[in-house]
Structure 1
């Protein structure tokens, strides 16, 4: 097996940089190291599979959390264990279960405290 050169990255790293869920990417993407040039080309001119993944999902947890307005830990407390599609996220936002309301409020409090501390350090 040939060793990837220093200018290439594992598919998991490339997927993270592209903000996509690795298991949902094509086999070819998952099986081969990605060079920095290939990553830049994918980001600059996304193929259809990448555009569809970004639009429809499934999305990785960090994006699910951001779209729901909660922390990644909050997802876990809410029982969200897997990647979610845009449709599932929208349905959850429409339903607005009690755990999601509580986690959103808690997350906003954390963000407000972080802003307060940052402002206090500036003074």
Structure 2
């Protein structure tokens, strides 16, 4: 008889797939490999710690950047090097410091240019 394949992943990979900041997860999660089945169970029926992390943070940089409407590089240029909580993100959006205004404008310009190039490539492919 063959055993079912129980592929597992590192906690960092699982945290990334769950969109949570690994150092904020429980120690048991950080120290043990996560099987695909366990990951699916966490996604289907998240425990309270996962619900709290997703709601309040701290959030990983990719989510912080998305919530602020800037790139991850823009976070670094703005001096944000750590994960932020939802409360800290809200405070930044209310305060709207000069660097954030500039980064949001820059990011929107990049997105517009990407859309223009995509449209141009689509036209050329016809």
Give the TM-score taking structure 2 as reference length: 0.93
Extract unaligned runs of 5+ from structure 1: none
Give the TM-score taking structure 1 as reference length: 0.95
Deviation, structure 1 residue 88: 0.1
1:41-120 residue pairs with structure 2 within 5 A? Answer: 41-120=41-120
Partner of 1:19: 19
Q: Which has the larger radius of gyration?
A: 2
Deviation, structure 1 residue 79: 0.2
Instruction: Report if aligned partners of 2:6, 2:36 keep a CA contact under 8 Å in 1.
Output: no
Aligned counterparts of 1:94 and 1:58: Cα–Cα separation in 2: 18
Extract unaligned runs of 5+ from structure 2: none
The total of aligned residue pairs comes to 119
CA RMSD of aligned residues (A): 0.9
Deviation, structure 1 residue 6: 6.4
Aligned counterparts of 2:98 and 2:33: Cα–Cα separation in 1: 42
